[in-house]
Amino acid sequence: MMTRIGFIRHGETVWNAERRAQGQSDIPLNDRGRRQARYLAERLRTEPWDCLFSSDLSRAKETADIVAEAIGVPVRTDPRLREMHKGEIEGTTPEERIARWGEQWEKLPLGIEEEHSIVGRGTSFLSELIESARGKNILAVSHGALIGLTVRSLIPHVNVDVHFHNTSITIVRYDGSKWDCELFNCAKHVQQ
């Protein structure tokens, strides 16, 4: 029995537009992000989605609320779907990080959540879903790092070293024994 999970990255925020590291700072959608979410909702309106989960951060939750209204299912929040905690770099631009910590800032211990922690949250969420919603089509509104690292842990051959577009959808399938990627980082609804 096939279970499908559509991972959605939230719509744009002011900090996205300014290239600031958001991490778990609770930054809301901007007007463009709300438009992106409406385009996504319109795309998903005619597809068979059974349930919808969201990170509890407002940018993801608002994206999920807009989609939920279109597809007629309630939103359930789960803090495991939150973005990577970015430690001391939250709120900074790339230029500010270089000015503050130098070109090699990424090698410094700045309190950034480790990849294994993010993957652990993502796979814990999916393990529960596989048990409780087997055979269903599930949407999960989350954040770029969590989506990318979780997908890479399930399907190592998928190149996740890309920028996930705001409101892109990545669909993974589980057939009971293995994971596969059906659609990756697709944002055609906002690129038309």
pLDDT digits (tens, 9 = 90+) for 21-57: 999 999 999 999 999 999 999 999 999 999 999 999 9
Instruction: Kindly report the CATH number assigned to the domain that includes residue 138.
Output: 3.40.50.1240
> What's the domain count of the chain?
1
Q: Left if phi > 0, otherwise alpha if psi is -120 to 50, otherwise beta: which for 135? A: left
Catalytic residues: 10, 83
Q: What confidence score (pLDDT) does residue 53 get?
A: 98
pLDDT digits (tens, 9 = 90+) for 146-190: 999 999 999 999 888 899 999 999 999 999 999 999 999 999 999
Q: What range does the domain containing 145 cover? A: 3-191
